[in-house]
């Protein structure tokens, strides 16, 4: 009989994961409704169950309000996940939470397209809309 796999407890504190700060700068065009697209085609993290690397293309689209995200700090933020064991669904939602906390956009959508594993391709999308 095969050994029973368990995922219990692997991600209990994911929302409290201490991540690097995402810096911002003042938006001079707060009167405009425009979209900024950020793409990171070489995102990596680690499967919390197998410790194998996961690779993804991350795309973020957001409508800035008072501030915009500073790109170098955001790059360093994304690189932080390289050695973090985290499920695909959790990493996309954690990025969304941290992104919203840093710049309080009018709207943001995040899409993670993870490379195939075991013949299955995973795409996770999450969004925030300040209404």
**Active-site residues: which are they?**
47, 54
**Coil vs helix vs strand at 30:** coil
Give CA–CA dist 71/99, Å, rounded. 12
DSSP E strand boundaries for 1-131: 24-26, 36-46, 53-63, 67-69, 107-117, 120-129
Give CA–CA dist 127/28, Å, rounded. 24
Give CA–CA dist 78/82, Å, rounded. 8
Give residue 23's region: left, alpha or beta (phi > 0; psi -120 to 50): beta
């Amino acid at each position: 009989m095969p050994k029973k796999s368990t995922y219990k407890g692997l991600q209990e504190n994911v929302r409290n994961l201490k991540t690097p700060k995402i810096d911002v700068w003042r938006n001079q065009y707060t009167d405009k409704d425009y979209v900024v697209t950020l793409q990171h085609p070489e995102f990596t993290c680690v499967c919390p169950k197998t410790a194998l690397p996961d690779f993804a293309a991350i795309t973020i689209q957001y409508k800035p309000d008072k501030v915009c995200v500073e790109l170098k700090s955001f790059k360093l933020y994304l690189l932080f996940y390289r050695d973090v064991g985290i499920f695909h669904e959790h990493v996309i939602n954690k990025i969304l939470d941290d992104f919203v906390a840093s710049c309080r956009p009018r709207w943001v959508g995040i899409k993670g397209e993870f490379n195939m594993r075991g013949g299955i391709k995973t795409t996770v999308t999450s969004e925030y809309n300040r209404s």
